[in-house]
């Protein structure tokens, strides 16, 4: 191997490492609210009776920010480059998290989580796009697997920081890590594929191109739909663990913070397993399908666990995390479905639209809760969302070894 090849490989893996660290901070900031929800709400005077619904309000504001930010950063990534998006998004969510440490009322809390959500929206999509375009097509699955498996450990860090420090300091820590990451980003290079298309007379980051063509729009929607169950598991089944545990007759109040910890430990392992399965079978579709079945199995296990103990909950949360660990594979599929001039837009909006889809999922869930009860509503939602995901997966073409050096016309 020549010195030039060695240097290129080193640069590519540096991109992977920096993207993984960025996603680590992204996940920390994304889940910190779910972990400190109860502690922070008590401190600012939220009544116990309002904890669950006010929690959904703040979380939905954060998810709305992800929706808005997905559009903003996605278009910017295709028009001005992946690196600029990484810098801008990190700066925004870092400052927002620092501001979050100063809130004293529910509406300020929710507004700042909206701003943080907009900032958080740019990190993963730009990172995965950069990695996908920089690595050989036969190996890019390993790169995105590393990004996701390292990144989701940010949730583990969020739990331990929240255990050691107050909820306000936990937000300050997230902001500080983001600002430190900006220093590490300085030497990261831009994607060669983006540089190539930047000089061509072709539309880049065009939402009109994405939505005006019916076939392209359907392809995009199918990419979104395969990720729907992921955030329902995290945002509802795990985040509302105290409420589910109460109905299941848990002897002690289940901790959502510890649930997040074990879920993301499982998710980190799941990302590795899904990535390896896709590489070995040369099929990302098969990997995602098997993980959908695992989501159903683990959710049913959780919702049918009468008298669930704290230890049982941690074990189930870990396996539910494994089941939703196709997250990196889902984002990689979205990235591989579209040309270089739309790839940043798609890869950035897709995970954020899936996160934002928790809003309508929550509304439908609450409708089912009013009609039936919390447990039955969760059953209905998990079967509905996984069914939709499997249908969408069936409609997508396999993209495992696709050459990504092409444009959408």
The domain spans of the chain are 8-186+205-395
- Report, as an integer, the average pLDDT of 66-82: 80
Using the predicted structure, report yes or no on whether residue 16 has a pLDDT greater than 70: yes
Report the pLDDT value the prediction gives residue 104, as an integer from 0 to 100.
Answer: 93
**Which structure tokens are listed for 156?**
């583990």
387 phi/psi in degrees, rounded to 5: -65, -45
Q: Report residue 279's pLDDT band, with 50, 70 and 90 as the boundaries.
A: confident
More confident residue, 205 or 256: 256
Residues with Cβ < 8 Å from 181, sequence gap 6 or more?
21, 22, 25, 90, 94
Select from 276, 10, 294, 17 the least CA-distant residue to 139: 276
Classify 247 in phi/psi space as left (phi over 0), alpha (psi -120 to 50) or beta: alpha
Which residue is it, tokens 């109905």?
A: 247
Share of the chain above pLDDT 90, in %: 43
Which residue is it, tokens 């395969």?
A: 226
Distance CA 228, CA 300 (A): 17
Distance CA 69, CA 369 (A): 30
Which residue is it, tokens 């097509």?
A: 137
More confident residue, 290 or 26: 290
More confident residue, 198 or 310: 310
Q: What is the DSSP string of 5-30?
A: HHHHHHHHHHHHHHHHHHHHHHHHHH
* pLDDT 10s digits, 47-68: 988 888 898 899 889 988 988 8
pLDDT, averaged across the chain: 85
Distance CA 70, CA 87 (A): 15
Classify 155 in phi/psi space as left (phi over 0), alpha (psi -120 to 50) or beta: alpha
Of 8-17, 110-119, 246-255, the range with the lowest mean pLDDT is 8-17
Q: What is the DSSP string of 159-224?
A: HHHHHHS-HHHHHHHHHHHHHHHHHHGGGPPPPHHHHHHHTSSS--S-HHHHHHSHHHHHHHHHHH
Distance CA 409, CA 396 (A): 19
More confident residue, 150 or 185: 150
If you average pLDDT over each of 177-191, 193-207, 339-353, which comes out highest?
A: 339-353
Q: Report residue 365's pLDDT band, with 50, 70 and 90 as the boundaries.
A: very high
More confident residue, 151 or 361: 361
Select from 16, 78, 30, 17 the least CA-distant residue to 351: 30
The correct CATH number of 8-186+205-395 out of 3.20.20.70, 1.10.260.40, 1.20.1250.20, 3.40.50.300 is 1.20.1250.20
Report the pLDDT value the prediction gives residue 121, as an integer from 0 to 100.
Answer: 84
Q: Report residue 6's pLDDT band, with 50, 70 and 90 as the boundaries.
A: very low
Cβ atoms of 14 and 185 closer than 8 Å: no
Report the pLDDT value the prediction gives residue 1, as an integer from 0 to 100.
Answer: 45
Distance CA 96, CA 113 (A): 7
H-run or E-run covering 54: helix 51-80
- Report, as an integer, the average pLDDT of 266-289: 91
Residues with Cβ < 8 Å from 245, sequence gap 6 or more?
252, 253, 254, 308, 313
**Which structure tokens are listed for 7?**
């240097």
* pLDDT 10s digits, 121-148: 887 777 777 777 777 776 777 787 788 7
């Amino acid at each position: 191997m020549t010195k030039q090849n060695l240097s290129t490989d080193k640069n590519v893996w540096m991109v992977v490492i920096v993207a993984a660290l960025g996603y680590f901070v992204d996940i920390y900031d994304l889940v910190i609210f779910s972990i400190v929800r109860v502690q922070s709400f008590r401190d600012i005077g939220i009544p116990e009776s309002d904890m669950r619904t006010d929690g959904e309000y703040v979380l939905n504001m954060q998810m709305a920010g992800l929706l808005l930010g997905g559009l903003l950063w996605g278009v910017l990534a295709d028009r001005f480059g992946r690196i600029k998006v990484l810098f801008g998004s990190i700066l925004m969510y870092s400052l927002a998290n620092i501001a979050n440490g100063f809130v004293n009322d529910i509406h300020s809390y929710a507004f700042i989580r909206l701003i943080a959500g907009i900032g958080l929206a740019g990190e993963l999509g730009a990172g995965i796009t950069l990695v996908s375009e920089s690595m050989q097509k036969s190996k890019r699955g390993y790169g995105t697997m590393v990004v996701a498996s390292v990144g989701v450990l940010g949730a583990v860090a969020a739990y331990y920081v929240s255990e050691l420090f107050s909820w306000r300091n936990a937000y300050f820590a997230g902001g500080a890590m983001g600002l430190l990451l900006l220093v590490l980003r300085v030497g990261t290079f831009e994607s060669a594929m983006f540089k190539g298309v930047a000089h061509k007379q072709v539309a880049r980051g065009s939402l009109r191109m994405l939505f005006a063509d019916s076939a392209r729009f359907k392809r995009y929607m199918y990419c979104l739909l395969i990720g729907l169950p992921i955030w329902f598991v995290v945002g509802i089944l795990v985040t509302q663990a105290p409420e589910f545990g109460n109905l299941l007759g848990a002897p002690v109040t289940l901790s959502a913070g510890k649930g997040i910890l074990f879920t993301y430990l499982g998710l980190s392992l799941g990302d590795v397993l899904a990535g390896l399965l896709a590489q070995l079978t040369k099929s990302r579709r098969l990997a995602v399908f098997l993980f959908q079945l695992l989501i159903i199995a683990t959710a049913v296990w959780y919702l049918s666990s009468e008298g669930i103990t704290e230890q049982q909950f941690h074990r189930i949360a870990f396996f539910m995390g494994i089941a939703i660990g196709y997250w990196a594979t889902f984002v990689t599929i979205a990235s591989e479905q579209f040309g270089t001039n739309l790839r940043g837009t798609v890869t950035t909006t897709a995970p954020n639209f899936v996160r934002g889809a928790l809003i309508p999922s929550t509304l439908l869930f609450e409708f089912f809760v009013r009609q039936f009860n919390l447990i039955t509503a969760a059953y209905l939602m998990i079967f509905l969302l996984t069914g939709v995901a499997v249908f969408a997966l069936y409609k997508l073409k396999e993209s495992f070894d696709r050459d990504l050096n092409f444009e959408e016309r």
